[in-house]
Amino acid sequence: MSKDHKPELRRSVTPWGSFSWGYSDVGADIFVGLGLVLGAAAGASNVAFLFAGIVYICIGLAYTELAATYPVAGGGQYFVLRGLGDIFGFIAGWAVLLDFTIDIALFAWSCVDYLSELLPIVSSTGHPWAHFALTIGLIIGLCLLNVIGVRESTAFNGFVSALDIVSETAILTLGFLFAFNPTLLVHTMQSSWPTPFEFMKGISLAIVSFVGLESISQAAEETQRPASIIPRTSIALILTILIFALSYANLALGMQTWHPIPLDAHGHAQLFWQYLGNTENNGKAVALIAKQVPYWGAIAAFYVPVLGAILLLISSNSGVFGSSRIAYAMSSGRLLPSIFQRVHPTFRTPMVSLFVFTAVALLEVVFAALPSLDPTMATLYAQHFNGESGIDFLGDLYAFGAATSYSFVFIALVALRLFDPLSPRKFKIPLNIPLRFRGERAEFPLIAVLGFIGIVAILIFTMITHPIGRVAGPLWILFGLGLYMIYRKRKGLPVLHSFKRDWRSEQTEILRRAGELELMDEYIANLKASEERRAEVNA
Amino acid sequence: MNEVLTGSIHPTIEGAVIALLIALAIGATLWWMLHPPASFVQKLAKEAENELERMVGSIIVVFSPDILSTHMMALAAKLARGERSELLAVYIVEVPYTLPPDADMPVEEREALDALGAAETIATNNGVSLRTETIKSRSTKQAVLDLAKREKANLIILGSFREGKYTGAPLGRTIEEIAADAKCDVLIGVEGKHGTLLYDEPTP
């Protein structure tokens, strides 16, 4: 082998591997999101999930088309950079970074919640300090594991994902078969319909259950035949998650419980959804539903908390790994200072990125845990933040980061359809308007507009209903933009404009590296035909 | 309402239909995902793999004083183990026309025992069963072709070496004739120790 051979990521991720990379991230969301949405949207939780689910389908289709067309690591940040330029690429990447840090904090927090179902000593309400200490310990542990270069393997992800899908399908099918009462569902929806404010809050939190498609795009560079495989794995992931989310929401509202529901903190009787959505239980709602499934619940009560905790820990780890990878990619693209590319001398891992974003996640955990640790802080939060605390705060920011980055991805999709119509698209979102743009035939995606309206609505709901999210989220973006501008100015780089890049050569190289040789031929032929057309017009 | 009805099951038709739909939808989605259409490159690879399965149904490894196939025997054994092929090692003793067809040729027969013994050891080490045979014939080429016809062989494996000089038949006359006339696939393993093409040219 010649010495100047450049190393490339090995394309070893199979269809199941690609699916499980996404599933181990998105699949964990319902374990957190269900309780939050039930607590906010009450009897309309299923409708909130449906609304967010429709937006999620649009997001999923957009990601699917983009990841299949541009199969490189980087995901949303790369698509926006390519479609809208450096500064918007930075904003999208910075919002994704926020989500990854929340990913670390929220899922580590929720992992401990699920464990507390078997180990009450770490319960967030009974023993807040133990809960806090274990969450912090898990995050630091994950960071150190990533610094020494230990990552969960695709095989392990695949195994846990398969186990979880079988388990969740069993819980839902047996739950609907033995314990679902349609009359109760209708009754709950009628009697517990939320106020518009609560409903908006529920919708903004429901999107939390669908965040993580990014992982499939992140692994695009390691996936076999990405242009063909990613559309399938993404669509399968979208459908699987949507089926689970809608089913859980409807089951929670219409379930005839196997065991009596405990009384609430004030000694009053409560409905099942109220029990799942209260502060004590909203971090472990899936485990509590599983426990109430007739017969199966006796087994599920033991293994679902463990399975949930493992899945949530994997998801938290994907936040640690993903944030460092995105920061590294942004630094390579000169969107962030080069310090984020600094690697550990022995382990060759991006230690600065790992430490910085883990530290941000730890700060978020501290901020989320303060009200439960100190009664004075609880009073302060109640006065200034509408009584929001802990997991709510993390959910707020998660929804904000996701909605921001997804909004830019929709705009980038439209821009790339218009400015890069020659790249072959193995998967194309349906419902397009054909048009001519700059002398080339292009297609305007209507679904992207629909998705954009939906995600902007969710962003507005987040800003209206989350007192912490509407302050902390934009502050994060502004802080990042300040950092970006200082860095670009110091380095003498364009601040508001972009570098000149040869996207055509890069696209050919991307398709060659992806092993999509037929698409590479098609792209080269498209370029040639386009040049011939231009030459004819000029002549 | 809840507390009254706990501890008993109340299946409903709606619940059963939803349960069935969930199981079917999840199963169908995953099945569809795991069965993507093959690309052109994958189809080529699949055809080659199918061809290999056909090719290695029955393998004959040929030895003779001029055909040195011990290193190819090791390859054949690994191939046979992976593809569960029938394996036959044969040593051809060429009898000159100056002797009767069934003449005793103790030196050549002793060499045959060594070669076939080594072949059996290789097969045993690789966990495959092997038949061995020694054939006396006026023509090695004809003996191999007749044997291939009798055994309905799919593949003949032969070892060869470069003599370091061009003789008009660089792999050996007999080997080239077998390769030209056999009605099945022929795999010739040429030892590379006398080759010159793999050396790096010194840069001036």
Task: Give all domains of chain B, ordered by start, each with its CATH number.
Answer: 45-191 (3.40.50.620)
| Local confidence band at A48 (pLDDT 50, 70, 90 cut-offs) | very high
Distance between CA atoms of residues A433 and A431, nearest Å: 7
Distance between CA atoms of residues A371 and A381, nearest Å: 7
Cβ atoms B170, B163 nearer than 8 A: yes
| Local confidence band at A172 (pLDDT 50, 70, 90 cut-offs) | very high
Establish if B4 touches chain A: CB-CB under 8 angstroms. no
Of A70-79, A326-335, A387-396, give the lowest mean pLDDT range: A387-396
Judge: B39–A229 Cβ closer than 8 Å, yes or no.
no
> Which amino acid is it at A43?
G
The predicted pLDDT at position A472 comes to 86
**Contacts of A439-445 spanning 24+ positions with Cβ under 8 A:** A439/A533, A439/A534, A439/A537, A440/A530, A442/A417, A442/A418, A443/A417, A444/A414, A444/A417, A444/A418, A445/A62, A445/A413, A445/A414, A445/A417
- The residues near B89 (Cβ < 8 Å, ≥ 6 apart) are B60, B61, B63, B73, B115, B116, B119, B120, B123, B130, B131, B132, B133
DSSP assignment letter at B10 = -
Shortest distance between the Cα of B3 and any Cα of chain A, in A, equals 5
Nearest to A240 among B29, B34, B36 (CB): B29
Judge: A15–B33 Cβ closer than 8 Å, yes or no.
yes
Query: What homologous superfamily does CATH list for A26-501?
Result: Amino acid/polyamine transporter I (1.20.1740.10)
pLDDT at A21 over 90: no
* pLDDT tens digits, one per residue of A327-346: 888 888 889 998 888 888 88
Give the Cα-Cα-Cα angle A171, A204, A290 (nearest 5 degrees): 15
Judge: A180–B36 Cβ closer than 8 Å, yes or no.
no
Nearest to A247 among B11, B22, B39 (CB): B22
Establish if B34 touches chain A: CB-CB under 8 angstroms. yes
Token readout for B149 is 């016809």
Q: What do you get for the CA distance between the two ends of chain B, in Å? A: 93
pTM above 0.80?
Answer: no
Residues of A whose CB is below 8 A from B19: 172-177, 180
* pLDDT tens digits, one per residue of A185-217: 999 999 999 999 999 989 988 988 888 777 777
Closest by Cα among A488, A536, A514, A520 to A85: A488
The predicted pLDDT at position A7 comes to 46
Shortest distance between the Cα of A175 and any Cα of chain B, in A, equals 8
Establish if B28 touches chain A: CB-CB under 8 angstroms. no
Length of chain B: 204
CB atoms within 10 A of CB A373: 14
Residues of B whose CB is below 8 A from A225: 36, 39, 42
Residues of chain B with pLDDT under 50: 1-4
Is A497 in a helix, a strand, or coil? Answer: coil
The predicted pLDDT at position B26 comes to 95
- The residues near A239 (Cβ < 8 Å, ≥ 6 apart) are B25, B29
The predicted pLDDT at position A378 comes to 79
Cβ atoms A523, A508 nearer than 8 A: yes
The predicted pLDDT at position B4 comes to 45
- Mean pLDDT for A42-65 is 93
pLDDT at A182 over 90: yes
SS3 content of chain B, % helix, strand, coil (to 5): 50, 20, 35
- Find, in chain A, the residue whose alpha carbon is nearest to that of B11: A178
Closest by Cα among B120, B130, B126 to B78: B126
Residues of A whose CB is below 8 A from B15: 176-182
| Residue found by looking up tokens 């079988």 in the block | A166
pLDDT at A352 over 60: yes
| Residue found by looking up tokens 């984020």 in the block | A340
Distance between CA atoms of residues B50 and A419, nearest Å: 44
pLDDT at A230 over 80: yes
Residues of B whose CB is below 8 A from A261: 2-3
Higher pLDDT: A383 or B146? It is B146
Judge: B5–A165 Cβ closer than 8 Å, yes or no.
no
Distance between CA atoms of residues A54 and A64, nearest Å: 15
Shortest distance between the Cα of B42 and any Cα of chain A, in A, equals 10
Judge: A179–B9 Cβ closer than 8 Å, yes or no.
yes
Cβ atoms A35, A284 nearer than 8 A: yes
Length of chain A: 539
Nearest to A169 among B1, B14, B23 (CB): B23
The predicted pLDDT at position A289 comes to 93
What does the domain layout of chain A look like in residue ranges? 26-501, 505-539
Cα-only R_g, chain A:
23
* pLDDT tens digits, one per residue of A255-274: 988 888 888 778 888 888 88
| Residue of A178, A183, A248 to mutate, testing the B interface (most B Cβ within 10 Å of its Cβ) | A178
SS (H, E, C) A325-369: HHHHHHHHCCCCCHHHHCCCCCCCCCHHHHHHHHHHHHHHHHHHH
Distance between CA atoms of residues A159 and A149, nearest Å: 21
> Which amino acid is it at B24?
L
How many CB pairs below 8 Å do chains A and B form together? Answer: 98
